[in-house]
Structure 1
Amino acid sequence: MTDQPDSPLSAIRLQLALPLGENAAFDGWTAAAVEATALAEGVDPELAALAMPKGAVGLIDLYGEGVDRALAERLPADRLAAMKIRERIRSLVWERIRIQEPAREAIRRALAILAMPQNLPSGARLSWRSADVMWRLAGDTATDYNHYSKRAILSAVYGSTLLAWLQDESEGSADTAAFLDRRIDEVMRFEKWKAGIGKSERPSLTRFLGRLRYPAH
C-alpha cells in the first residue's frame, strides 16, 4: 500500500481489519470476504477492494493488525501495570484468543495457508509480531539477548495454545485455559532456572521451544 497512514483508504483498512475475520470464516481469505465485510460495515465495496490487500496472506496480515489494536484497547497499560508479569502474559494470550473467537474457522484456514511452503516466512513474521506486541504491552523493554528469547518463547506458547483452542470443544474453552496455564508455568520455571541454577550453563532455547511445541499431556 502506498497511501498515507491518515488517508481514506487507510481508514477503511482500519475499519475492516478485525471484522474481516468473521466473514473469512464463511468466505475464506478472499475478495468475497472483503466485499461482505464492507457491506456489513457500510463501506463502498469498490473502495474496500481498492483499500484492502490483495491475496490471502495480505488479508491475514491485516486481520492480525486488527487483533493487535483490539488487544491494546482491551488491556491498556494502566490495567496491565497492576498485574504481576505472569498474569500480564497470561491475560494477553488469553484475551487475544477471545478476540479471535468470532473468526475461529477463519483462523484455522489462515494457519493452513501460512503453513504452505511459500508462506512460511510470512507465517514466522506474523507469529513474531504477535509475540512482540504482547511483550511490549506487558511493558518489556529488553534490548539484549532476552529481547529475542522472550519473543521466541512466547511465540511458541501462543502458537501451541492457539492450536489447542482450535481443537477444544470444552465449555468456555476451559481445556485451552488449563493448557495455557501449564505452558505459562513452564516458562516461569525456565526463567527461574535461567536466573539461578542455570547461571553457569547457557540455556538451551531450542530444546525448551521443542517442549512447548510438543508438550506432554
Structure 2
Amino acid sequence: MTSPYETAKDQLLDAALIHVPFDGWSEATFRAAITDVGLDEGLARAACPRGAVDLALAFHARGDQAMVDRMKAEDLSALRFRDRIAAAVRYRLEAVEDKEAVRRGTTLFSLPHHAADGAKAIWGTADLIWDTLGDSSEDVNWYTKRATLSGVYSATVLYWLGDDSTGHQATWDFLDRRIDDVMQIEKIKAQVNENPALSRMMAGPNWLLSFIKAPSKTSRSDLPGSVTSRP
C-alpha cells in the first residue's frame, strides 16, 4: 500500500515538472508545485525534507523504474550480453519525456553539496541494470561492473543532452563505442590472466581483492559492501 508521503511526492513531482524547465529543481519550483497541488506545506515538507532535491531524485527513480519495467517486458535473450547492456541504457534514456528536466538535474547534481546524491543515483541505475540482467557477482567484480557502467551511462547522458540527430542515433552510436572500449579492457584483463608470468605478478593484488565481497541485498543503499576476514 502506497504511503501518504509517497503519494504526496508523486503529486508534487508531476506538478513540479511543469516548472523545472523555467526554474530548475529549485525552491521556487517546489513552492509552485505545493501551490498547484493544493497540498498542506507540512505534508509536502515531510514527504520531501530537502524540497526540490528530493523531487529531482524521485524523477530519476521514476525513470529507473520505467527502464526496469521495459527490460522485463522485452525479450533480450537473443542479444549478446554487451547488447543487452546497451539496450538497457537506451531504455533508460528513452524513458525520459522531458530532456530539459534531466539537463536541470545534471546542473543540480554537479554542485559540490549535491554531487554525492547524483553519484548515488547513477550508481543505482547501473546496479538496477546489472541486477535485472541477472548479475550474480559476489566479489570485487560486483563493484567494477557497476563502476564501469556508471561511467558509460554518465558519458552517454552528457552526449545525449547535446544530441539533435534523428532518433538520437548519434547517441546510440556513441554508446556502442563506449561499450566497445569497455570490452577491450575486459579482453586485456583476460589476456593478463592467461599469461603465466603476468598472472604470477598479479597474484598478490588478486589475493587482496579476493577479500572484497559484494554488499548484502539489505545494505545496497549504503556502500561500500563488506570485507571478509577470509577469502
Shorter-chain TM-score bucket reads: 0.7 to 0.9
Would you say the 8 A contact 1:25–1:104 is kept in 2?
no
Query: Are residues 1:57 and 2:73 paired?
Result: no
In the alignment, which of 65, 86, 95 is matched to residue 82 of structure 2?
Answer: 86
The structure with the larger Rg is: 2
SS in 2 for 1:169: coil
| Mean CA deviation greater in 113-122 or 14-23 | 14-23
SS at match of 1:79: coil
Does the aligned pair in 2 maintain the 1:22–1:106 contact within 8 Å?
no
Query: How many residues are matched?
Result: 194
Q: 1:119 aligns with which of 114, 118, 123?
A: 114
The one-letter code matched in structure 1 to 2:3 is S
Q: Give ranges in structure 1 of 5+ residues lacking alignment.
A: 203-217
| Structure 1 residue 178 displacement after superposition | 0.8
Give, in whole Å, the separation in 2 of the partners of 1:176 and 1:166: 9
User: Structure 2-normalised TM-score?
Assistant: 0.72
- Stretches (4+) displaced over 4 A: 14-23, 31-40
Q: Against the structure 1 CA distance between its residues 6 and 115, is the aligned structure 2 distance closer, same or farther, given a 3 Å change threshold?
A: same
Q: Shift of the alpha carbon at 1:144?
A: 0.6
Corresponding residue SS for 2:135: coil
Give the unaligned 5+ runs of structure 2. 203-231
User: Post-superposition shift, 1:31?
Assistant: 5.2
| Partner of residue 10, structure 1 | 6
TM-score, normalised by the number of residues in structure 1: 0.76
Paired-residue identity, %: 38
Residues 104/152 of structure 1: CA separation in 2 closer, same or farther (3 Å cut) = same
Match of 2:186 among 176, 191, 197: 191
Task: Classify the secondary structure of the residue corresponding to 2:25.
Answer: coil
Q: Paired residue for 2:221?
A: none
Give 1:176 deviation, angstroms: 0.8
1:28 aligns with 2:24: yes
One-letter amino acid of the counterpart of residue 53, structure 2: V
1:139 is aligned to 2:134:
yes
Q: In the alignment, which of 177, 180, 183 is matched to residue 182 of structure 1?
A: 177
Q: Partner of 1:213 in structure 2?
A: none
Structure having greater relative contact order (Cα 8 Å, sep ≥ 6)? 1
Q: Residues 194-213 of structure 1: CA distance to partner in whole angstroms, max 9, x if unpaired?
A: 22x121366xxxxxxxxxxx
Offset at residue 44 of structure 1 (A) = 4.5
- What amino acid is the match of 1:62? A
Q: Cα gap change, 1:62/1:110 in structure 2, threshold over 3 Å: closer, same or farther?
A: same
